Chains A and B, each alone.
Chain A
Amino acid sequence: DAKTTQPTSMDCAEGRAANLPCNHSTISGNEYVYWYRQIHSQGPQYIIHGLKNNETNEMASLIITEDRKSSTLILPHATLRDTAVYYCIVRVAGGSQGNLIFGKGTKLSVKP
């Protein structure tokens, strides 16, 4: 699986959009970009994933650059409950493809 690079930490004001970047310059053509988050002392939670088109669901939007070497997770209206560590993971899709490899992620702090 390709390696990803994320900022260590970010702050965001409550109610504002949180934009979390991720670099994955060695991504392969069949690898997807996945985002998970982990709220303190809980198991990780799936947020969204995409291949090359931008994706949106009830939680977030995922913007992938045309060359697929980077992406941005957008939380449109951050709340205090969005404070968590966000992980960007690149891997081949498919449930039996194996485990997820977690990097250090970005610690997002949403402040009032």
Chain B
Amino acid sequence: GAVVSQHPSWVICKSGTSVKIECRSLDFQATTMFWYRQFPKQSLMLMATSNEGSKATYEQGVEKDKFLINHASLTLSTLTVTSAHPEDSSFYICSAPGLAGGEQFFGPGTRLTVL
């Protein structure tokens, strides 16, 4: 099946710094990618939809100025957590739709810890 990678797999940063997370579709092109966040013992919650060549669309309650999304190419979307705070510590996961069938392919996730 199609492969989606994320980098880094984990990151620890100080409060107030910015962190960039990359999501790549390795063997297929994705005009749309999705960013999810998952807190401990909870389910995945959609944060935003990343669209190649246009602005991302954010879910209600997600600050677009804090979570910057750039979908610069058909295989790369980036999520930048700006001025990170401890409450932003979470597991961030991206996904991309497959070419057919409706299934989505998920990255392995990025564990962010803000001290």
Chain A residues near B (Cβ < 8 Å): 32, 34, 38, 41-46, 49, 87, 91-105
The distance in angstroms between the C-alpha atoms of A69 and B99, with both chains bound, is 28
- Inter-chain CA distance A97–B101, complex, in Å, is 11
What is the CB-to-nearest-CB distance from B34 to chain A, in angstroms, rounded to a whole number?
5
Q: Is the interface of B mostly helix, strand, loop or mixed?
A: strand
CB–CB B108/A42 < 8 A: yes
Of B14-22, B60-68, B71-79, B89-97, the segment with at least 4 beta carbons within 8 Å of chain A is B89-97
Q: Answer whether residue B115 sits at the interface, using C-beta atoms and an 8 A cutoff.
A: no
Contact for B106 among A41, A43, A93, CB less than 8 A: A43
Taken together as a complex, chains A and B put the C-alpha atoms of A42 and B97 apart, in Å, by 18
Q: Tell me if B104 and A46 are in contact (CB < 8 A).
A: yes
Task: For the complex, count residues of B whose C-beta is within 8 A of A.
Answer: 29
Residues on B facing A (Cβ under 8 Å)? 1, 4, 6, 31-32, 34, 36, 43-46, 49, 91, 93, 95, 97-109, 111
Given the interface pairs A96-B97, A99-B34, A99-B49, the reply to whether A34 lies near B103 with Cβ below 8 Å is: yes
| Least distance between B2 CB and chain A CB atoms (Å) | 10
| Bound complex: CA A105 to CA B106 (Å) | 17
Residues of A within 8 A of B107 (CB): 43
Measured CA separation A16–B32 after assembly (Å) = 39
| Chain A: minimal CB distance from B8 (Å) | 14
Query: Measured between alpha carbons, how far is A36 from B90 in the docked complex, in Å?
Result: 21
In the complex, A91→B46 CA distance in Å?
Answer: 15
- Contact between chains at B102 and A44 (CB < 8 Å): no
Instruction: Indicate if the CB atoms of B49 and A46 lie closer than 8 Å.
Output: no
Q: In the complex, are the beta carbons of B102 and A95 less than 8 A apart? A: yes
Residue in B6, B43, B97, B98 whose CB lies within 8 Å of A102: B43
Is A93 in contact with B102, judged by CB distance below 8 angstroms? yes
Determine whether the beta carbon of B102 is less than 8 Å from that of A42.
no
B89 to chain A, nearest CB (A): 14
